[in-house]
Structure 1
């Protein structure tokens, strides 16, 4: 068998784990960071809001969960799905959150700094250690109540793990999915609103995206409801917590420690703030898991038109029953499928199998057909008002 007729180009804008890149067959794909007219963009944290997207672009894949660096609305208008890897980094973030809670409760950074400055003989250092350790007496996990804002993949893992470690855990998520609710341990309590959560917790952690509704969600008014010497954690996104309010409340004695993954000039040098260099998903395992998940979803979309784990397109999975397949992204308005079917029927093209799904303002259709689509029919379908993108998928006999 010779080279396949279809060869996709994947532009990588960040370093991607080799385990993910190895999913791309060398006979079907080219990938690299200097490709022109890419079929897909694969990235991690690179900001592409000002990117000029070529007409060749079929998909964007983020090897991670956060999508603030991607212009979702713009790509949706082009009929381009955006994939991410929800849950692939959940364990990594969960472990770091637990470590951060322990750092805050046991005063580990201050204790480490104290010891690092000790000088003298073994005997002198030992005596100073015994004399100074009383300043760093901490608290145990079961004595504290953790409030978890956002019960998605990460929030559920954090809540369950901390409950297992003996903490009282209260969660808040008015939009929790049925899937995540089933995964949540029965011992995790539910808060009716954020005010109730903050009044009953002394450690708060957020695991939510940053958008117009969550900007500065954790603000002065809410944090003022916390008991004295509370701890705030932010391993979600910069901007979810109002940093100015945190500093003000630390200075007032309400908050003892703020631990976050997003250093800024305003907070990074404060004595009661522990800033980490965005380490939440920075483990070998998480980077591998994210890369493999998005690569597999990207491959399935490029080769079969199937959509999984997209943030802007509906889930769409249809087994191939014919060598010929169309995929169509369009505005979610009436009569679209009828117009597409009519265009095919007038060319005596039979639809053998079909899937039509929608999500908000977007709809997506997969059609397995008995015969190939000629240029005239393709152009007719593409010109239907409301059509965003039409693709003729690679035939099953084209090496795919």
Structure 2
């Protein structure tokens, strides 16, 4: 029985890790690991020379060097949607806490220990007007980014009797179909900024979104709006946010990512990166990441990768080996692999080819074994990044 060594870089849900079967071993030696499970720790690929795949138990992958991983033929997975409910619940919890002045009310109650009876009630009635807040109903909630988290946030806004308007520059049809009919889709980001009383960010952190919330972005927002960032800290420029808060253009900034520039500001409410910190979310993320790693290492199938195209194929009947060829998306790669296999008398039982415009991913089931020499010959060809050989048997099947 083939054993796949997997390294765990962070503390992850024991229930999720239990899904690894007898074909997998938790490997302490990073140099021997073929799979890596990670949450938030930075990944240094030089420490993992045998690595074939990384699964991030969460949505963001800014702690993983994606370009380097792709160049080395390492598949990187994330777990979209696994923590969506936890993040959305925190967004609405913190918005409600801010609008109802809960922190100030709690502090006030802590100071009432010297009062009793009628005096206590009188003090409460006399001063509770200081904490009069606002309701969510009939306000406009703006959503920037309509992935699984953004869609759930938009739908929950509808359930709170809010007007909801959302925008995504690259909408995924599957996600858009999950929106409630009352959510209005904007044609531009500026349309959302100008209307939102409360604006919630739900975009990934990448080169295009780092510093997205700058002075120009904030100037386009409705005066007196509240900005919520439960996506990633660097999406917002702290100096621009502070300037908008100090001028009164922005009423408040609620974020899950404390920064030294904004800590202590009386219009800022921080939580310590709690978005996915629920027992349910951690279990869901770990379970999904484990399944992604298992399917990739055992069968070469790809789902929810951020750098490889999705590719799934049930092993062909009678096949004894599965060859995985990872290549640059250039012409002639299918013929290259087929010709080399044919030259060595290896019959192809099935061939699946997928591309994402950058990487070509090939799953080739063969009816005879593929030798290390054949693997090396394919891997040495121009355009080929990496080749894997996965032994199969006639009864193999995907879970």
> What's the CA shift string for 1:183-239, capped at 9, x where partnerless?
111111122222221111110100001122112212222323434432111000011
CA distance in 1, matches of 2:70, 2:193: 37
Structure 1 residue 28 and structure 2 residue 23: aligned? Answer: yes
> What's the CA shift string for 1:28-86, capped at 9, x where partnerless?
111144453101111100011x4414331110110111100000000000111001100
Contact residue 30 and residue 48 of structure 2 kept, 8 A: no
CA distance in 1, matches of 2:288, 2:335: 35
CA distance in 2, matches of 1:188, 1:308: 29
Provide runs of 4+ in structure 1 moved above 6 Å: 397-400
Alpha-carbon distance change, 226 to 337 in structure 1, aligned in 2, over 3 angstroms: closer
Structure 1 residue 368 and structure 2 residue 365: aligned? Answer: yes
After superposition, where does 1:381-400 map in structure 2 within 5 Å?
381-396=378-393
Contact residue 167 and residue 189 of structure 2 kept, 8 A: yes
Match of 1:307 in 2: 302
Match of 2:111 in 1: 117
SS of the residue 1:393 aligns to? strand
Alpha-carbon distance change, 399 to 194 in structure 1, aligned in 2, over 3 angstroms: closer
CA distance in 1, matches of 2:116, 2:250: 36
Q: Which runs of 5+ in 1 are unaligned?
A: none
Match of 1:331 in 2: 328
Contact residue 90 and residue 157 of structure 1 kept, 8 A: yes
Match of 2:347 in 1: 350
Structure 1 residue 66 and structure 2 residue 33: aligned? Answer: no
SS of the residue 2:391 aligns to? coil
- Stretch moving more, 120-129 or 53-62: 120-129
- Of the three residues 6, 10, 13, the one matched with 1:10 is 6
Match of 1:83 in 2: 77
Match of 1:156 in 2: 151
CA distance in 2, matches of 1:204, 1:65: 21
CA distance in 1, matches of 2:305, 2:255: 28
Alpha-carbon distance change, 394 to 125 in structure 1, aligned in 2, over 3 angstroms: farther
CA distance in 2, matches of 1:162, 1:135: 27
Contact residue 13 and residue 33 of structure 1 kept, 8 A: no
- Of the three residues 240, 259, 267, the one matched with 1:264 is 259
CA distance in 2, matches of 1:89, 1:290: 7
SS of the residue 1:76 aligns to? helix
Match of 2:94 in 1: 100
Q: What TM-score, normalized to structure 2? A: 0.95
SS of the residue 2:272 aligns to? coil
Contact residue 172 and residue 197 of structure 1 kept, 8 A: yes
SS of the residue 1:205 aligns to? strand
> What's the CA shift string for 1:345-387, capped at 9, x where partnerless?
0111111101000112110000011000123222211111111
Match of 1:196 in 2: 191
Alpha-carbon distance change, 296 to 70 in structure 1, aligned in 2, over 3 angstroms: same
CA distance in 2, matches of 1:396, 1:55: 28
SS of the residue 2:241 aligns to? helix
Contact residue 304 and residue 394 of structure 1 kept, 8 A: no
> What's the CA shift string for 1:144-187, capped at 9, x where partnerless?
11100000010000000111110100101121111011111111
Alpha-carbon distance change, 209 to 45 in structure 1, aligned in 2, over 3 angstroms: same
CA distance in 2, matches of 1:42, 1:62: 6
Structure 1 residue 214 and structure 2 residue 198: aligned? Answer: no
Match of 2:249 in 1: 254
Alpha-carbon distance change, 127 to 225 in structure 1, aligned in 2, over 3 angstroms: farther
SS of the residue 1:100 aligns to? helix
Q: Which runs of 5+ in 2 are unaligned?
A: none
Q: Count the aligned residue pairs.
A: 394
Structure 1 residue 275 and structure 2 residue 270: aligned? Answer: yes
SS of the residue 1:142 aligns to? coil
